[in-house]
A and B are shown apart, each in its own frame.
Chain A
Amino acid sequence: NAGVTQTPKFQVLKTGQSMTLQCAQDMNHEYMSWYRQDPGMGLRLIHYSVGAGITDQGEVPNGYNVSRSTTEDFPLRLLSAAPSQTSVYFCASNTGTDIIGAFFGQGTRLTVV
């Protein structure tokens, strides 16, 4: 099983550019989430989805959009990148009913210059 797959692994953007971080899972999990990890801040929730067609904001949603058209995919869009969005981004999925927690992708390291 591939688990949770994130692409790309690394990306450099110029301020104002847009891009989409891709996330796909093959475990038929209903719940998917996006987190960003910054030094000294832990992982902070950006957006999450409890099923296809349903999304909600997390702790730090500003500057990011998401959609969930299928169970498998949960892309994160940056409409106009800013240096403050330089971070490592993790996508996660889980069933929501088990206690073993979420499965995470390997992360996307994004630098905005």
Chain B
Amino acid sequence: DQQVKQNSPSLSVQEGRISILNCDYTNSMFDYFLWYKKYPAEGPTFLISISSIKDKNEDGRFTVFLNKSAKHLSLHIVPSQPGDSAVYFCAAYFGNEKLTFGTGTRLTIIP
């Protein structure tokens, strides 16, 4: 049972435009939601997070939106840059003990 789902395996966006990555979840008990970025041959690195009591968190070019009623979160990157090309994983915490990851979306920024 996949509790965190990323239904788009890949996404291509022109440089300078907005990239929107989506994630759905089924467990309403999750406390925090996070986005990780992963380059080839490297471990995932933390990008941005949001608490379940908020609906938006912004950090520079990155904004995460949470819609609890729809059990949906999204990551907006604007403007998109070539260095943003990577695989993005959404993940969720329950009880701060373990992360549950989605399957990932490969973002390609086209120059």
Q: Which of A35, A48, A107 contacts B42 (CB 8 A)?
A: A107
Does B111 sit within 8 A of A, measured CB to CB?
A: no
* B29 lies within 8 A of chain A by Cβ: no
Q: Interface residue count for B (Cβ, 8 Å)?
A: 26
Residues of B within 8 A of A35 (CB): 101
Contacts of B4 in A (CB 8 A): 42
Are A33 and B103 touching (Cβ within 8 A)? no
- For B96, the chain A residues whose CB sits under 8 A away are 31, 96-97
Chain A residues within an 8 Å CB radius of B49: 99-101
Q: Can you list 26 A-B contacts (CB < 8 A)?
A: A35-B101, A42-B4, A42-B89, A42-B101, A42-B102, A42-B104, A43-B44, A43-B91, A43-B101, A44-B101, A45-B98, A50-B97, A90-B43, A92-B43, A92-B99, A100-B46, A101-B34, A101-B91, A101-B93, A101-B99, A102-B46, A105-B43, A106-B41, A106-B43, A107-B42, A107-B43
Which positions in A face B, CB cutoff 8 Å?
4, 31, 33, 35, 40-45, 48, 50, 58, 90, 92, 96-97, 99-107
